[in-house]
Structure 1
Amino acid sequence: MSIKNPHLQDVALLLIFPVIFLFFLWGPLIEGNALYFRDLQIFFIPMKAFLAEWLSNGVLPFWDAGKFMGVPYFADIQTGVLYPLSWLLLIADGNHGIGLLIYCHLLLASVGFYLFIRRLGLSAIAAFAGGLVYTLGGVMVSSFNMINVVQGLSWLPWILWAFLRLVQLPTPRNWVIAVICIALQVYAGWVDASMMTGLAVVWLLLSQRPNLEQVGFLRMVGLVASAYFCALLLAAPQLIATFELFQYSVRTGGLPDSEIAGYMLGLDGLSSLLFPPALDALDWEILEAFPDGYVPLFLSLYVGWSALALIMAAICLCHRQAIWWLSLGVLGLFLAAGENLSASFYLHKMVGIFRYPEKYVVLFHLSLAIVTAFGCHHLARNCDWRNFASVLLVIAMGCELYYYNDKINLLQDADYYDLEQLTDIQHITANEGRIYSRNVYQEDVTSVRDLYLNYRNDLTPFTANLVGLNYVLGTAGLMHRSHREIIDLLQPLPPSQLLAMRLAFFDVRYLASNDIAFKEDKSWRSLARPFGNRLWDIGTQKSDLYFPTQVVPRQGLSPRFFSMERAVITGQKALVETDKQADGLSGQVLHTERLTPNNMRVEVETSNNSLLVWSESHYPGWQVLVDGTAVSLEKVNYFFMGVWIPPGRHEVEFKFVPTGFIASSVLAVFVLILLIILALANIRTFPSRRAIFSS
C-alpha cells in the first residue's frame, strides 16, 4: 500500500538510509574490522587515534611530537581538531570509531542531498534515488581512504540546500543556516571541497536566475558572498593556523608540472572508471606502479546501470535543469583531466597547491546524482505503473551500488593496526642501524587485497609517513622525503655512520630507503639495494633537552659542526661571547614532564648563564617561561629551540598555542553569537531592493 502523505513518504524513505549504510559498513562499524587501504592506514587512522586520545583527556592537541622533530598538528586542517563531528571518536574507539565517523557522514550526506532535491521540487523517490547515487556512488566510496574528503563532501548538498532555501525565502535565519554549513565544511578538513562547492553554488544561482527577478540576482550574489565571508570568520582559528603552516610548506611555490600531471585524470582511463570497480592487480596496473612506491587511489565513477538509465532518460527528455547540472559535470571532467587538456593544466598551474586535481570529478559525481533524480522524477510522474517502475529501478540501483562498490572497502581483522606484530628486525651491522623487513612480495598477486596485505607487511616507503609508528611503538622521529630543509643540511656530510649520527641529532630515527638521503649517499645506497624499499631504524636518538658546552655564532659554520657540545644561534650572533676552548657553560636537567603535546616542563640547575636546548622544531607559537616569567626563545642549530637560563635552580615551561588562536577564537565566538541573535530575531526577510531605495 502506497503512502499518500508526502511527509510520511519523506520520513519513510529517510529511515531507509541508515539501514542501508549499517549493512554497507557492518564490518568496521559493528564487528570492528579494519579498513586498511592507502591513506587511511598510513595517515588518517593514526591521526584520528591521536586526536581521540587527547580529546578523551580534555585536551585540544595543537602539536604532534611524533613526526619529524615535532610538527603543528592543529594547523594541518585534515586533523579536524575543532570539527564538531570529530567528537564521535569519543563514542567508539579504534576501528569502530572510524566506522562510526564514516557512517554518520554518509547519513549526513544522504539527508542533505535528499532535502536539496526535494527543495528543487522533485518527488520523494527521486530524492531518494539521487541520495543513493551521491552517497554510495564510486566517488564517495572510493574516498573512504581519505576521511576528510568524505567529511567535506557530506556538507556539499547541505550548502546547496541552504542557498536554495535562501533563494526561495531570503530570511536572515536561512542566511545564517548557510553560513553555519559553509563553516562546518571548512572545519571538516578538505579545502578542495570548499572550492568545488563554490562552483556548485554558482551553478545553482545561475539555474535559479529566473526565480530571482523579485529578489534581485545581484542582491542574492551579495548575500552569498557575505555568507562565505562570515563563514570564513567563523573558521578563522583553523584557517589562520593552516595558512601559517602553508607558508612553511614546499607548496608555497606551487607544485611541479610533473606532480600536477601525475595526479590528474587521464582521458584514456576515464571510460573504465564508469564501469564497476575491477579490484584485480591487472586491471589497476598495480604491479607496474607499486614497485615505485605509488599505490592507486582506487578512484571510481561507477553509479550503476540503473542510474545511467535514469540519466539517459533525463537527457533524452531534454530537461533544461538536468542538462544544466550535467554541464557542471563536464566542467568537473575538464578540471580533472588536465594532463591531456592544456587549458586545464594551465589553470591548475596557477593554483597548483592541491595534489589531487583528479578529485574534481566530484563535480561530475554530483551532477550524475542530480540528473539521476531528475530522470527518476520524470519517469514516475503522472502514471502509476511508471511510478512502480521507478521504484523497482531505484531498488535495483541500490543493489547494484551495494554489490559493486562495497568491494572497494578492503577489510582485515580487528587487530590489523597492531603494529607490534610487524617488528621483525634484521641487523645489518651493529653500527649501521637496522631495517624493518618481511618476506618479499608474492610473485603471483591475484587480487588487490593480497597486494595490500603485502604492502602493510612489507612496510613500504609510505610507512615513513606513518605517524602511527610513534603512537604504537613509541618512536620519536621520522624522516620523510619531502623534508627538504634537513636534506639540504645533510648533503655536505660524509656518508654512513656520520650521516646516521647527524640524523639522530636531528631527532630522526626512521628513514625510508627510497629517501633522498639514501639516493645521495653511495654507502647507504649500496646497503639498501639488496633489500629494496624498507624502513630503516638508524639508532637511538639524543636527549631531548641538554646544555651544550659551547655557543657560537652562525657565520661560517655548516651542519657538520652541530653536536650536543656545540650550539649555533641561528639568525644572530651568540648572546654570550664565549671562548671556543673553554667557555664554561654548564647546566643539568633534573626533571622533565610532558603532560600534553602542547607543553613541556623542565627543572634545571646551572652554575652560570647557560643555554638550554630542546630538540623540538622551532615554530611560531612556541613560548617559554622561566619561573613563570616569559623570556625570549632562541632558534638553535637551524631547527631547535633554546632559552638562556641564569645561574641557580629554575622551572622552565615550553608552551605551544597557534599564532593568533586566542584572538581568532574570540572573533569566531563573537560572530557566532551575532549569528544566533540574527537567527532568533523576529525578522521575516531581508529588505528588498525596492524597499531600500524607496526609503
Structure 2
Amino acid sequence: MALAGLLCAAFFFRALTSSDVFMAGDTLRDFYPMRHYWASRVSAFEFPDWLPYDGLGQSFPGIFITGMFHPMMWLHLVLPLGTAAKVTLLTCFPLALGGTYALMRAFQVPRAGALFAGVTFAFCGYLVCITNNPKYLQAASTLPVALWLALRYLREPGLGRLTLAGMLLALVAFAGDAQAFVMANACVVGLAALEPLAGPWRRRVGACALLILAGGLLAAPQLLPAAAFTAASEPGARSLGEAQRFSLHPLRLWELLLGPFLADPVGTQGIPNIVVTRLVPSGGFGRVWVDSVYLGAPACVLALAGFAASVRGWRAWVLAGAWMLLLALSLGEALPVYGWVYQLVPFWRPFRYPEKLVPLVSLGLAAAAGLGWKRCLGPGGSPRAVIWTGVLVALPCAALALAEGLGGAWSQHWLRARWPDIPGPALQGLSGNVVTAATVAAALALACAALVLLRERPSLQGALFVALQWGALAWANEPLYQLSPVELLQTPPSFVQRIRERVSPGESVRVASSLREARPPRVPGLSFNDSQRLYLLSSLAPDALALWGLESANEYLPGVSPRVRQLLHTDRTRWFTALAPRLGTRFLVLTALERQAFGERLAARSAVEDPLLGLTLVEYADAAPRIHLARPECVADRAEAARRMLAPTLPPPDVAIVECAEALPRPPPGPLGQVHVAPGPPEHVTVDVEALAPGVLVVNDAFQPGWRATVDGVEAPILHANVAVRAVAVPAGRHVVALHYHTPGLTAGLVVGALAWLGLLAACLARRLAARRPRAA
C-alpha cells in the first residue's frame, strides 16, 4: 500500500502541491452543491429529506446520484468543502490500485504483474478524467475491491466473508451509481459461473444469490427510496435517444492504444468542443463524458499476448467475448447493441450514457494484462507471445506515424474529408497529436518486446514494466485532470449579492438560468477552464447556485418531477418568460442575445449587466409569491391543465388551475386574504392563513409523492395546481395549513438496512465468541 500511495502521489503531484481543487463538470455542478447542502443540514442535526434547489424541489435520498449514505460524506462536516472533495477524489486512486492488485493476486498473478494491472486501472484515462464526476469515480474505484472480496467468498463461503463482500457491494450503491451497482452484481454472477474453485453448481448458485441478497439488503437505505422514486417518476432515460447520449465514439477506440490524440492537454485540458461537435458528436453536446480512455500500449500488448497464449482455453474466449460485449454497449448509438438491451431488459431503461460502462472495459483490459503477465512472463510462461505481439503492435503504429508525419495521410485525407473547413491550428494540432501518439505507442510496444530479454532478472523486468506503464499513463492522462482556484467556491458571484440586496433576509429565492451549453468568453488573467467555471457560477446555473442558498427553477438532477419537466421542455421561451414567474421564480439570468430574442415578453422591473461575461440578471415584474391564496379553476385532468397553462394567455395571476375530483367553491371577486409562512426546514411548511373566502393555498414547489397536508390538524388532500405545483383547499377564516414531506421507501430502507447490518455483524461476533469458548472434554 505504501508503493500504491507513492505512485498515486507522484501522479497527482499538481493536486497535492496546490491549494486548487477539482472543479470540472459535475464536480462543480452537482457534487459540491449536494455535499454543501447535506453538510449544512446534518451539522444542524436535521435530516435532508427534501432538496429545494433543483427543478422546484425533489427528494434528496430518492435521487441515487446524491450518494447521501456514502461514508466519505462525513468528511464534509470536518473539512472545508473543496478540501473534503479533494480528499474524497484522491482516495479513490489507491483504492482502485490496491483493489485491482488484490484481485489479480487472487488469480495467482505474480506481484509485479498484479501491480502492473493495478497501475493500469487506477491511472487509466477514464478514472483520471472522471474526477469531473466523483460519484462515478467512487463507484468505479470500489468495484475491484468488491470483486476481490466476492471471489474470496465464492471460493470459501463463510459468514465473515459474506459480510465483507456484501458491505463492498453496498458501498458501490452508496457511491451514487445505480448502473455500477447492477453491473457489479452481474460481475459477481460471472465470477460464480467461471471460477473453477467455486465448487459444485448448487453451491455456486446459492453462494452467488446469498451475496447479491446481502449486498442489496445492506444497500436498502439507498435502493428502496430510489425504487419508490423510480416507480412514481421518470428519473432516467425516457427514450433510447436520450439513453445513448454520451456514447463512446468509434474514432475514440484508437485512444485505448495510442492515447488521447483528440485532446488539447495545455489549453482546454481536454477535447475542445469544436473537435467534439465535428469529429466525435454525442447526443448534441459540445463536450464528451471523459477526455481520455487511454489504457497504455504496454497493457494492450500484455493483454493481447495473454490471449494469444491462451487461445485454446474456452475461458479466454468467454472473457474476451464479455469484454467485447461491454465495449459494444459503451459505443451506444454507433451500434444497435445498446438499443437491443434497452428494449429487451426493462430494468435497463432508467440507465443513461453508455460511456459509463467504460470503467468495466478498462478494468477488463487491466485484468487481461495481469493475466497475460501470468501466462507469458510468469514461471513456465510463453514470453515469445509478448515479443511477437509487441512487434505486431509497433509496426502499424510506426507506419501511421510515418504516413501522417511525411504525407498527412490521416489529416489531409481522412480528416479533411469529414471536416473540410477545419481551422489550420486545429488541423496542425490533431496531426501533431497523431504523430506523437503513434510514435510513443510504437516505442512502448517495442520496449515491451525488449524487456522480455530480462527474463532471467524478473525483479528488474517487473520494475521496468511497471515503470513503463506508469510513465505512459502519466504522459497521456496526467495533464487532463483539471484544477481550479478554491476561491471560485468561496466567493459569491456578483449577481448573488444583487439578489440578496433585493430580498428580505431568510427569504427563499428561486432563479431561472436560460443558458444552454456554456460557451464562456475568455476572462483576462484566467485559463480557459477557470473562465468556464466562473461563467457557470455567474450564470447561476443549476445546481451550483445552491452553494449560495439560491434555488433553481431549472432541472439538472434526474429526480425532477415529470410535471415540471413537461412545462419546462414544451416551450422553452414560454417557460422563461411566463411559466417560471407564475411558479414563484423571481429572477432570471440570460445572455444579451437571449434577452433580445425574448423581447417584450420578458416583463422585468430592472436589469443588471455583467459586461465582463455578457450576462444579464433581470427581475420578473409579475412573479407570483412562493406561497399565496388563489381562486381555483377546476379541470378534469393533467392534459386539460397543461392545455390551459400552455395556452397563448395565462389565467389571471390570482387563479390556479387545479385538477379536482370534485368542484371547489369559487370565491367572489375581491381580495382573497393573507398568508404568513413560519420559518422552518424545507420538509415542513407551516402557513397561517386568513382567508376572506374559500379558496386554495398554492405552494409553488414541485408536486412529488411523499407530501402530506393538514388543515388545522386534520388530514387534507394535496391537489395538483398549474400542472406542476401543489395546492390545498382552505375554507374561509383563520387556519393553519401544514405540509410535511418524507421520502417514500426511506423508512423501510433504513429499517431493512439497519437490520441487515446489525444482523450480519451480530452473527459474525457470535461466531467469533463461540470459536473462542473452550470445548468440553
TM-score interval (norm. to shorter): 0.7 to 0.9
Residues 240 and 339 in structure 2, CA contact (< 8 A), matched pair in contact too: no
Name the counterpart of 1:429: none
2:218 touches 2:756 (CA, 8 Å); kept in 1? yes
Equivalents in 2 of 1:50, 1:424: separation in Å?
Answer: 17
Taking the TM superposition and a 5 Å limit, the aligned residue runs for 1:167-206 are: 167-206=154-193
Partner of 2:416: none
Task: Indicate the residue corresponding to 2:666 in structure 1.
Answer: 578
Q: Could you tell me whether the CA contact under 8 Å between 2:49 and 2:683 is conserved in 1? A: yes
Aligned match of 2:620: 539
Tell me, in whole angstroms, the C-alpha distance in 1 between the residues paired with 2:565 and 2:67: 30
- 1:590 aligned to 669, 676, 687, which one? 676
CA contact (8 A) 2:696 2:728 kept: yes
1:345 matched to 2:339? The reply is yes
Match of 2:211 in 1: 227
Partner of 1:395: 467
Which of 352, 357, 361 is matched with 1:360 structurally?
357
2:704 aligns with one of 612, 619, 623? 619
CA contact (8 A) 1:88 1:97 kept: yes
RMSD: 4.2
Secondary structure at the counterpart of residue 134 of structure 1: helix
How far is 1:299 from its partner?
4.2
Partner of 1:406: 478
Show the counterpart of 1:659: 744
Residues 1:260 and 1:543: Cα distance change in structure 2 (over 3 Å): closer
CA distance in 2, matches of 1:253, 1:29: 38
- Partner SS, residue 420 of structure 1: coil
Q: Structure 1 residues 524 and 131 mapped into 2: Cα distance closer, same or farther (>3 Å)?
A: farther
Q: C-alpha distance in 1, partners of 2:588/2:555?
A: 5
Structure 2 residue 208 is the aligned partner of structure 1 residue 211? no
Q: How does 1:76-475 map to 2 (within 5 A)?
A: 76-208=63-195, 210-212=196-198, 215-247=199-231, 249-250=233-234, 254-257=238-241, 259-278=242-261, 279-280=263-264, 284=271, 286-287=273-274, 289=276, 294-318=286-310, 325-350=319-344, 351-377=348-374, 378-379=376-377, 381=379, 385-418=457-490, 420-421=492-493, 423=495, 450-459=527-536, 466-472=542-548, 474-475=550-551
Give the residue type in structure 2 aligned to 1:467: D
Determine the C-alpha separation between the residues in 1 that align with 2:232 and 2:598.
Answer: 27
Structure 1, residues 344-388: CA drift from partner, whole Å, max 9, x if none?
A: 432234434322112322222112211222344452548660232
* Distance 1:167-1:502 versus aligned 2 partners, 3 A rule: closer
Distance 1:137 1:616, change over 3 A: same
1:649 shift after superposition: 4.9
Deviation of residue 141 (structure 1)?
1.3
Q: CA deviation at 1:493?
A: 9.5
CA distance in 2 between counterparts of 1:413 and 1:374 reads 42
Q: 1 CA distance for matches of 2:540 and 2:286? A: 14
CA distance in 2 between counterparts of 1:414 and 1:391 reads 37
Q: Compared with structure 1, are the counterparts of its residues 164 and 476 closer, same or farther at alpha carbon in structure 2 (3 Å cutoff)?
A: closer
Tell me the CA shift for residue 670 of structure 1. 1.9
Where 1:659 maps in the other structure, the secondary structure is coil
Correspondence for 2:763: 678
Distance change in 2, residues 1:103/1:422 (3 Å): same
Contact kept in structure 1, 2:221 and 2:749, CA below 8 Å: yes
Superimposed CA distance per residue, residues 490-512 of structure 1 (whole angstroms, 9 cap, x where no aligned partner): 8999988x972432111345668
Return the alpha-carbon distance in structure 2 between the equivalents of residues 419 and 277 of structure 1.
Answer: 34
**How do 1:454-603 and structure 2 match up within 5 A?**
454-459=531-536, 466-472=542-548, 474-478=550-554, 485-486=563-564, 489=567, 500-508=577-585, 537=618, 539=620, 541-548=623-630, 550-555=631-636, 558-559=644-645, 560-575=649-664, 577-581=665-669, 586-594=672-680, 596-603=681-688
1:275 is matched by which residue type in structure 2?
L
SS at match of 2:767: coil
- 1:554/1:30 Cα in 2 relative to 1: closer, same or farther (>3 Å)? farther
Q: Provide closer, same or farther for how the CA distance between residues 20 and 52 of structure 1 changes in structure 2, counting only shifts above 3 A.
A: farther
Paired positions, count:
646
Question: CA, structure 1 residues 464+331, in 2 after alignment: closer, same or farther (shift >3 Å)?
Answer: farther
Q: What amino acid maps onto 2:577 in structure 1?
A: A
Sequence identity percentage = 21
CA distance in 1, matches of 2:337, 2:361: 18
Q: Is the 8 A contact 1:92 1:100 kept in 2?
A: no
CA contact (8 A) 1:476 1:509 kept: no
Counterpart contact for 1:601–1:653, Cα < 8 Å: yes
SS of structure 1 residue aligned to 2:137: helix
Check the 8 A contact 2:495/2:617 in 1, yes or no.
Answer: no
CA distance in 1, matches of 2:737, 2:655: 21
Task: Tell me, in whole angstroms, the C-alpha distance in 2 between the residues paired with 1:44 and 1:490.
Answer: 24
TM-aligned CA deviation for residue 165 of structure 1? 0.8
Distance 2:552 2:243 in 1: 32
Bigger Cα displacement from structure 2, 227-236 vs 188-197: 227-236
Query: 1:162 and 1:434 mapped to 2: Cα distance?
Result: 46
1:54 corresponds to which of 18, 36, 41: 41
What is the CA–CA distance in structure 2 between the aligned matches of 1:440 and 1:112, rounded to whole Å?
39
Give per-residue Cα distances to partners, 1:147-202, cap 9 Å, x unaligned: 11111112211221122112221122222222222222112111121232233223
Contact 1:143 1:150 in 2 (8 A): yes
The corresponding residue for 1:692 is: none
Structure 2: distance between partners of 1:359 and 1:440: 25
Matches of 1:29 and 1:49, distance apart in 2: 22
Matched-pair contact (CA < 8 Å) for 1:265–1:338 = yes
TM-score of the superposed pair, with normalisation by structure 1: 0.81
Distance 1:272 1:512, change over 3 A: farther
Alignment partners' CA distance in 1, 2:570 and 2:462: 70
Distance in 1 (CA, whole Å) between partners of 2:601 and 2:232 is 29
Question: Is the contact between residue 379 and residue 387 of structure 1 (CA under 8 Å) also seen in structure 2?
Answer: no
Quickly say closer, same or farther: Cα 1:100–1:443, change in 2 above 3 A.
Answer: closer
* Distance 1:663-1:42 versus aligned 2 partners, 3 A rule: closer
Q: 1:328 to 1:146 in 2, by over 3 A?
A: same
Work out the CA distance in 2 between the residues paired with 1:226 and 1:334: 30
Q: Contact 1:567–1:637 at 8 Å: present in 2 too?
A: yes
Cα deviation for residue 607 of structure 1 reads: 5.4
Deviation at 1:83, TM superposition (A): 1.9
Deviation of 1:80 after TM superposition, in Å, equals 0.9
Name the aligned partner's letter for residue 302 of structure 1.
Y
Residues in 2 aligned to 1:46 and 1:573: alpha-carbon distance in whole angstroms: 42
In 1: Cα distance, 2:568 partner to 2:303 partner = 57
Inter-CA distance 31–276: structure 2 relative to 1 (3 Å threshold): same
Secondary structure in 2 aligned to 1:170? coil
Determine the C-alpha separation between the residues in 2 that align with 1:625 and 1:164. 53
Question: Match of 2:467, SS?
Answer: helix
Q: Give secondary structure in 2 for the equivalent of 1:297.
A: coil
Deviation at 1:285, TM superposition (A): 5.3
Q: Report the TM-score when normalising by structure 2.
A: 0.73
- AA partner of residue 232 (structure 1): G
2: CA distance, partners of 1:444 / 1:518: 22
Distance 1:329 1:493 in 2: 43
Between the aligned partners of 1:218 and 1:521, the Cα distance in structure 2 is 67
Alpha-carbon distance change, 478 to 51 in structure 1, aligned in 2, over 3 angstroms: same
